[in-house]
Amino acid sequence: MSDLLAIGASGLRAYQSALTTVSDNIANASTPGYARRRVELSENASTNGALAQERSTVGNGVAVIGVQRLSEDLRNSAVRSTGADLAKTQAGITWLSRIQDALTGNQLGSRISEFFNAAKGVAADPTSSPARTSYLEAGTSIATAFQTTARSLDQVSVDLDATAQSAIDQVNRIGVTLAKVNEGLGRAQPGTTSQAQLLDQRDKALEELSAISDIAVTYNDGGRVDVALGGVNGAKLVSGVTAGTASYVRNASGTVSFAMLLAGQPSAVTPSGGALAGIVEGAQRIADARTKLGDIASGFVAGVNQVQAQGEDLDGNPGQPMFAQTSDPAVFSLALTSWRGVAAAGPGKGARDNSNIAALQTLRASGGFEADSTSLVSDNAATLSGRQQVADAQGAIHDGAVNARDAVSGVNLDTEGVELLRFQQAYQASARVIQVARETLQSLLSV
């Protein structure tokens, strides 16, 4: 009877563990990073040697070997790599959208057209005070449009810096987390719930990190990992229980870069995926847009001032610069303070002459300012549209990788419900075995 009691008791312990594990799966069905677990059971081996095993006709019950965490490193790696690609594209879309808003929000192209159209009004009536006043107002408007567009792009740069620094701070926090997880895994016993929990934390942290930058993961004993930022040849962020410190800088030209310091050794970080790669691309596009804007503004100011200098104002004086440019090519202001200073006439041709102001239409055609401003906007818009299409495709690929991982690691409530009933019945049957053993023993004692 003692054998029957022992077998029943082993069943109670085993199926209680199984019920606890299944219940944990159900409770964490929606917990990010949780991987489904399963209790591994094995028949109890005899302790009386091989000969006794051959002669024995009685079993020895069941034993819990451990808790198995259902996860595949290859599928997890696929989720991380596809997620890094998607995060890079999405970050690029964010900054392209911000650039587009900055370029279109002040209607720069319309202000340029209005300026040259106002010059036509002066050419139609060179001595008209209202026409000259409208022309100067158009000059103020275009200067404001250029300056506001430049400041909008500058604000995008400021926001990008803040986003980049926040991402780097998150990288450093995740690095510290992974180092601590490695330390915990070094102490955790294999096949335990505590080890499974640490492995969940590890994989969740790795997935979060891969959304910031592409990473290379090296698996060591006990599930510990070394992590490099920026791919296989990247800079080490985590080595054993030591975490590095990442940093972010931007140079005067607007180019951004990242660095890593681990155990006193500095190294460059060159991300090719994740949000950091999108930030690098975004910073370059902001700088390029700012440069092109400055080039358009410089050409416009120089051209208009040159035409102004070639004519005479309403009082017969040589034309003075219409615009004053600052050290920032995209920032300038109206220099003329009076509508009488508009140099509409050619030298010595009288106040009603319009030959000089008419030359602005030649500048309009040769300078291509309207076409250049339109191209600046349309090129960015085309790139943005292309990135959005790429993001849609990458999103589908990433979803497929997630589904493939979840087919192994995810919790299916229907399956867990069936398992719960199965282990409940096994637990009840084991309890019945113990009850039968006690009743039989009581019957024997009563004889």
Q: Which amino acid is located at 378 in the chain?
A: S
413-446 helix and 2-27 helix, angle to the nearest 10 degrees = 160
Residue with tokens 């017969």: 316
The pLDDT assigned to 57 comes to 59
Task: Report the SS3 class of residue 105.
Answer: coil
Higher pLDDT pick, 232 / 151: 151
Of 91, 86, 89, 93, give the one whose Cα is nearest residue 401. Answer: 86
Of 38, 67, 35, give the one whose Cα is nearest residue 407. Answer: 35
The DSSP secondary structure of 156-215, one letter per residue, reads HHHHHHHHHHHHHHHHHHHHHHHHHHHHHHHHSPTTSHHHHHHHHHHHHHHHHHHTTS-E
- Mean pLDDT over all residues of the chain? 92
- In which band, very low, low, confident or very high, does the pLDDT at 438 lie, cut at 50, 70 and 90? confident
The kind and range of the H/E element at 228 are: strand 225-229
The pLDDT assigned to 447 comes to 65
The pLDDT assigned to 51 comes to 44
Instruction: Please tell me the chain's helix, strand, coil percentages from 3-state DSSP, rounded to the nearest 5.
Output: 65, 15, 20
The pLDDT assigned to 293 comes to 96
Measured between alpha carbons, how far is 76 from 411 in angstroms, rounded to an integer?
A: 16
Neighbouring C-beta atoms of residue 306, cutoff 10 Å = 13
Lowest mean pLDDT: which of 42-51, 234-243, 300-309, 348-357? 42-51
**pLDDT tens sequence across 273-295:** 999 999 999 999 999 999 999 99
Q: What is the mean pLDDT of residues 190-205?
A: 94
335 pLDDT higher than 90: yes
Measured between alpha carbons, how far is 136 from 134 in angstroms, rounded to an integer?
A: 5
- In which band, very low, low, confident or very high, does the pLDDT at 443 lie, cut at 50, 70 and 90? confident
Rounded alpha-carbon distances, angstroms, from residue 410 to 67, 69, 354, 392, 402: 16, 11, 78, 24, 10
**pLDDT tens sequence across 26-58:** 999 999 999 999 999 998 876 655 444 555 556
321 pLDDT higher than 60: yes
Phi then psi dihedrals of residue 351, to 5 deg: -65, -30
As a dihedral over the C-alpha atoms of residue 118, residue 121, residue 123, residue 125, rounded to 10 degrees, the angle is: -140
Measured between alpha carbons, how far is 308 from 341 in angstroms, rounded to an integer?
A: 9
Rounded alpha-carbon distances, angstroms, from residue 260 to 43, 67, 94, 332, 373: 51, 38, 26, 41, 40
Lowest mean pLDDT: which of 43-47, 74-78, 400-404? 43-47
Q: What is the mean pLDDT of residues 244-266?
A: 90
The DSSP secondary structure of 344-380, one letter per residue, reads -BPTTS-TT--HHHHHHHHHHHHH-HHHHHHHHHHHH
Q: What is the mean pLDDT of residues 375-388?
A: 96
**Is the full-model pTM beyond 0.85?**
yes
In eight-state DSSP terms, residue 253 is T
310 pLDDT higher than 70: yes
- Report the greatest alpha carbon distance in the chain: 142
- In which band, very low, low, confident or very high, does the pLDDT at 436 lie, cut at 50, 70 and 90? confident
- In which band, very low, low, confident or very high, does the pLDDT at 340 lie, cut at 50, 70 and 90? very high
Q: What is the mean pLDDT of residues 143-147?
A: 96
| Contacts of residue 1, Cβ cutoff 8 Å, sequence gap at least 6 | 437, 440, 441, 444
Question: Do the Cβ atoms of 234 and 228 come closer than 8 Å?
Answer: yes
**pLDDT tens sequence across 211-225:** 999 999 999 999 999
The kind and range of the H/E element at 83 are: helix 73-104
**pLDDT tens sequence across 112-126:** 999 999 999 999 999
Q: Which amino acid is located at 157 in the chain?
A: S
Q: What is the mean pLDDT of residues 237-246?
A: 96
Burial of 2 (0-12, 13-18, 19+ CB in 10 A): exposed
Question: Do the Cβ atoms of 246 and 163 come closer than 8 Å?
Answer: no
Of 222, 231, 186, 182, give the one whose Cα is nearest residue 205. Answer: 182
Of 387, 379, 393, 382, give the one whose Cα is nearest residue 90. Answer: 387
258 Rama class: left (phi>0) / alpha (psi -120 to 50) / beta = beta
